[in-house]
Amino acid sequence: MKPLHFTAVFSLTLVLSSAKISGGPRGRFDNNHKKNHHVTAHHAHFSYHPPTVIHFMCRHCSNFAPYPVFHGVPPTYVYKYRESNGKFGYLLSGLALYNLGRASSEHWEYTHFYSVQRNENCSLQVTDKKHFDEIVFPCFMMSSFMDRSPESHFPNPDALDITSPQIDVRPFILYNGSSIQVTRDQECILWHNSTGFKDKSVMPCALLKEYAETMKPSGIPVYVWLPLTVGTVITIYVLCQCCCKSQARKDDPLKPALIRFNSHYYY
């Protein structure tokens, strides 16, 4: 096969297997405040299989309680956190799905919009008797845990759609091999701090874990399916080339007849 053909087939495969989504002007959330960048949506690693509701029993409760679940295509930022491979990414993907579930169980036409405020900061603290850890995340990911003024229910042209695939996040990757496991004893504390107030919401980290688990690793990892796809495309290409050549050879004696037929048709 000619190198040019090979390159063309290979690039085509790459283009087909990675869909690029560029960050929209309003959808850029960057904890490090660095330059703009693109989100590459490789959703091949995880797929979303939500149950109808999540039944969860908290540590000091005697019964399971139902928790709302988001039914739809999770936005890219959920995958980005889930794929970031650190303990915080895992919990934050769970938080994002919990938030989407809560928002969709209320007045969805309003609750999936979030008005970003200047000067607000949000963080997740993971605590138990031995540990304390904190991670900052974009506030829209806990929109349903905030007290909303009635005015915020009116459509705001600048509000952010929390389901938008254009939202770009840069997950903080902390994976030094000794990250603490999510246990039933841990509490997850969400902070929404702004000028004049600090709001705190507490929930079991195990609940966020339940939400994160609704996103399951996809069956075939990229390093298996990508070479397989490339291989298949090349095989089909080579086979076609061979077929066409042998077909062409067989057709040779018929060519004058075909031409005659065609010219006959047009006259």
Ligand X SMILES: *[C@@H]1O[C@H](CO)[C@@H](O)[C@H](O)[C@H]1NC(C)=O
Q: Does 195 bind ligand X (CB under 6 A)?
A: yes
The minimum distance between CB 193 and ligand X, in angstroms, equals 4
What distance in Å separates the CA atoms of residue 56 and residue 196, rounded to the nearest whole number? Answer: 34
| Interface segment toward ligand X; rule CB under 6 A; list 24-32, 68-76, 158-166, 191-199 | 191-199
What distance in Å separates the CA atoms of residue 132 and residue 257, rounded to the nearest whole number? Answer: 85
Query: Is the separation of the CB atoms in 136 and 122 below 8 Å?
Result: yes
Dihedral (C-alpha) 13, 38, 123, 107: value to the nearest 10 degrees?
Answer: -80
H or E element: which one contains 217? strand 215-217
Q: Which of 31, 121, 164, 229 binds ligand X (CB under 6 A)?
A: 121
Using CB under 6 A, which residues numbered 124 to 143 contact ligand X? 133-134, 136
Tell me which amino acid residue 36 is: N
| Interface segment toward ligand X; rule CB under 6 A; list 78-86, 118-126, 162-170, 251-259 | 118-126
Site string for ligand X, 71-110 (x = CB under 6 A): ----------------------------------------
Is the CB of 201 or the CB of 232 nearer to ligand X?
Answer: 201
| Interface segment toward ligand X; rule CB under 6 A; list 45-53, 187-195, 208-216, 241-249 | 187-195
Is the CB of 44 or the CB of 96 nearer to ligand X?
Answer: 96
What distance in Å separates the CA atoms of residue 172 and residue 89, rounded to the nearest whole number? Answer: 7
What distance in Å separates the CA atoms of residue 170 and residue 80, rounded to the nearest whole number? Answer: 8
Q: Does 32 bind ligand X (CB under 6 A)?
A: no
Query: Is the separation of the CB atoms in 138 and 29 below 8 Å?
Result: yes
Using CB under 6 A, which residues numbered 167 to 186 contact ligand X? 176, 178
Q: Does 31 bind ligand X (CB under 6 A)?
A: no
Q: Does 149 bind ligand X (CB under 6 A)?
A: no
**Residue 172: CB partners within 8 Å, gap ≥ 6?**
31, 84, 86, 88, 89, 135, 136
The minimum distance between CB 209 and ligand X, in angstroms, equals 17
Instruction: Count CB atoms within 10 A of the CB of residue 77.
Output: 27
Q: Does 198 bind ligand X (CB under 6 A)?
A: yes
Is the CB of 17 or the CB of 194 nearer to ligand X?
Answer: 194
Query: Is the separation of the CB atoms in 92 and 171 below 8 Å?
Result: yes
Is the CB of 17 or the CB of 123 nearer to ligand X?
Answer: 123
Positions touching ligand X (CB under 6 A) are 119, 121-123, 133-134, 136, 176, 178, 191, 193-195, 198
